[in-house]
Amino acid sequence: MSTKSDRNTAFPRSIDDATPQDWDNATRRQVGGNHYSRYEIQPVDFIIANNLDWCEANVVKYITRWKNKNGVEDLRKAEHYIQLLIEREMDESNRR
């Protein structure tokens, strides 16, 4: 699992600055910005380690980045995925 200190010392903070060696570990690079690089635990590492499904993973992604990327738009996206999870859970509960 990559850490903030690994990313700050060993790898560039932007994909534009990456060297061929940086591409060896996909979890240590970010395409399209640096809004996740400030965190001790990358959302992708948390998502994989906890075997989250698509909707759960998107909630983690949007909640993690909202302050540093798209603001309220990302909160609305997270809300949308939470609503999908609620509806799915209610549908499954009603089938039991």
Q: Encode pLDDT of 13-70 as tens digits.
A: 565 676 666 555 766 666 666 667 777 888 988 999 999 999 999 999 999 999 999 9
pTM for the whole structure:
0.67
Query: What DSSP designation does 41 have?
Result: S
pLDDT at 84 over 80: yes
Instruction: Give dist(CA 58, CA 74) in Å, integer.
Output: 10
Q: Which pLDDT band holds residue 95 (cuts at 50, 70, 90)?
A: confident
| Tokens 């997270």 -> residue | 78
Residue 76, pLDDT above cutoff 60: yes
User: How many whole angstroms separate alpha carbon 89 and alpha carbon 32?
Assistant: 33
Continuous segment of H or E residues that includes residue 7: helix 4-10
